[in-house]
Structure 1
Amino acid sequence: MYALVAAGSFRRYATYRVATAAGVFTNTVFGFILAYAYTALWDQRPGLGGYDLAQALAYVWLGQALLAAASLMGGGFEDELMERIRTGAVVTDLYRPADLQLWWLAADLGRGAYLLLGRGVAPMAAGILAFDVALPPEWWMWAAFLASVLLGLVVSFALRFMVGLSAFWLMDGTGVAQMSWLAAMFFSGMLLPLTLFPGLLGEVARAMPWSSLLQVPVDVYLGKRTGWDLVAAYAFQAGWAVALLTLGRLVQGAATRRVVVQGG
């Protein structure tokens, strides 16, 4: 059933072809802007953050490829979930013979898969054609990278699921959603690689769940995580996914009891 939900979500987002084309154009333009900015910076500081220029450019274009799929700037299912909570339509969701969290997880993975293909591949290809972008040295690293991306998408969902559930208490979770995507932009490494963050700030940022969304997949792509270090990267992402999904389950239970108390 959940596979069908994911497939339906994929088809749903595939119908918005104009929006997809506009997103590809936007990501490509911003990719070029950031690529030239990174080129200027790395010309002055070669090897900055442990990356050479080709790797830094790969970081830029991978960020654009994952921006929509990982909902680094919001715009995922959480807005719809908050609206359904506000209107009371979530009661219908709770009556379904399906788990609320797993239902939305399947739908979000279908959305993420489409946006990774529909809005991620073209900007990445443009970047590879226009710049000297580093590519994985071994074919299997592509598979390792995609596995890391999948784990990152689950972590992203788990974070945003709790954002959506906040509407049970706040009714309007817009403020929480905005704080969430600001944290995602900063702590995922979307603005700058987390390896550039100094001292304790860098250590804290790399230990937080948002690093699973971009920083970790990029390092896997670049071959900086191999052997047991790759296993540790997967364990880090999977650990955050399990912890956040479990916390989301607890919040969902509390929210469900609140609906019953309110007579919803």
Structure 2
Amino acid sequence: MRLFATLVVLGFRRWSTYRLATAAGAFTNTVFGLIKASITMGAIGAAGGELAGYDALTGATYAWIVQALVAPVNVFNWNELALRIRDGDVAVDLARPLDPQFAYLAGFLGRAIHQFIPRGAPPLLAGALVTGLALPATPLPYALGVVSIVLGVSVSFSVWWLVNLTAFWLIELRGVLTLNVVAMGILSGLVIPVHWFPGWLATVAALTPYPSILQAPVDVITARAEGTAALGVLAVQAAWLTGVLLLGRLVFARGARKLVVQGG
């Protein structure tokens, strides 16, 4: 745990050097939050003022919280491992006296912590000023929400890790990465809440880990899932995390056995 914490800190420090990029990302997230909140409120208004349990204020709150979390959970891209596999640098990771998946997960969490502070706060502040936020008045949803966010970030990492491992067998990865971005963007609740999906699409989403990345943390933070329901959401997230991480370990071990790097 001490080593893991050290790697998390190093991941935080690494991403804290990209200050201009972080500021630009915060501005972009806030602008898109305003657009999404407006569209969401308009859709709810067109539906008669309530849609799948969301009214205008809770719908806007959903949009703003998603924008606050989109950078920490990293919906759009992570190909660091794939590039190292393609270039052969993964051989260095295999030679180090620590588990690569363990190390990359720690760095991913460190990046998430850094991204949440400067890129998560501005959208929430803008949301509070522009539309208002419907947030719980008790501390329990926030405490459980922190756990859910950590699980969501970890599930996102486990999915990206698995996608990156296709580099052991594929030369061109842009198609695979793009497919994952599309699937994650739709099925995680980034575009619209998963609760708005038609029955067949909701079933498809439930059979994937994607809702555990965004929809689940938002449900817990906003107290849409309370008490035992919130614990059930956390259990589903933990189950997906365990399953996808284990699958990632198996695939990585298989890929490492076939890896050939020039020079040895």
Tell me which interval the TM-score lies in, with the shorter structure as reference length.
Answer: over 0.9
CA contact (8 A) 1:193 1:215 kept: yes
Deviation at 1:22, TM superposition (A): 0.2
Percent of pairs with identical residues: 41
What are the superposed Cα offsets for residues 30-59 of structure 1, whole Å, 9 maximum, x if unpaired? 111111111222222221121111111111
Aligned to 1:14: 16
Q: Which AA in structure 2 matches 1:12?
A: R
RMSD: 1.5
Is 1:182 aligned with 2:182? yes
Please, which of 12, 29, 32 is the counterpart of residue 27 of structure 1? Answer: 29
Distance in 1 between the 2:119 and 2:132 partners?
Answer: 21
Q: Which runs of 5+ in 2 are unaligned?
A: none
Aligned to 1:197: 197
Aligned to 1:96: 96
Q: Which runs of 5+ in 1 are unaligned?
A: none
Aligned to 2:62: 59
Q: When the two structures are superposed, what TM-score results if normalisation uses the length of structure 2?
A: 0.95
Aligned to 2:72: 69
Q: Which AA in structure 1 matches 2:76?
A: M
Moved over 3 A (4+): 260-264
Deviation at 1:263, TM superposition (A): 7.4
CA contact (8 A) 1:85 1:171 kept: no
Deviation at 1:261, TM superposition (A): 9.3
Is 1:137 aligned with 2:137? yes
Distance in 2 between the 1:236 and 1:210 partners?
Answer: 11
Distance in 2 between the 1:148 and 1:63 partners?
Answer: 13
Distance in 2 between the 1:36 and 1:260 partners?
Answer: 52
- Residues matched between the structures, number: 261
Distance in 2 between the 1:11 and 1:5 partners?
Answer: 10
Q: Which AA in structure 1 matches 2:55?
A: D
Deviation at 1:151, TM superposition (A): 0.5
Q: When the two structures are superposed, what TM-score results if normalisation uses the length of structure 1?
A: 0.95
Deviation at 1:262, TM superposition (A): 8.3
